[in-house]
Amino acid sequence: MSRRALFLLTALLAAATMLVACDKPLPKVTVSGDGNIVNLSASTYCFDDDHCRDGEVSDYSDAPVLKIGRGEDILVSVPKVVATGQWLVSAFRVDANGDQQAVEGLGTPTLHDVHTTRIQTAVAGDQGFFLGIIEFDDNAKDVTGTWVVQVHLED
């Protein structure tokens, strides 16, 4: 095989790899509670260091809404590609300046090889909040995926 043909073959393989990563569907996370179910598209997701994509949610106000009764638990379910890595759930509110403020007592430690976790919302009080589902790389240093849902508490 000539050098030129080898170069073209290598370039075509690289391009095909990029297209495959671009065409892959983003993993979805499911949150449910009080009989309601919401499937979340990723806000951001990285298939690897070179293939990251933004999802549908670019602003917190665009995040899907899960309506539950006050004190109802939320079940978070992640697909295998997320569960086999390291991930966690954090709860936060957004203040008037647009800054995130953690909701104490809600969320999880870092999870690994776990497909579902239960969030007990009794400590949330009367105010709604956001849940962020965050996936990390193997070293638990870099964020590789994020999903966000608004939680509205109802009587």
Pair 101, 57: CB distance under 8 Å: no
Residues 113-135: tens digit of each pLDDT: 999 999 999 989 889 999 999 99
Provide the whole-model pTM: 0.81
Q: Tell me what the pLDDT averaged over the chain comes to.
A: 85
pLDDT confidence tier of residue 155, bands split at 50, 70 and 90: confident
pLDDT above 60 for 89: yes
Coil vs helix vs strand at 82? helix
Q: Please, what are the domains in the chain?
A: 27-154 (2.60.40)
Amino acid occupying residue 10: T
CB 55 within 8 A of CB 62: no
Is the pLDDT reported for residue 2 higher than 60? Answer: no
pLDDT tens profile 38-70:
999 999 899 887 888 877 655 788 899 999 999
Residue 24's pLDDT is 78
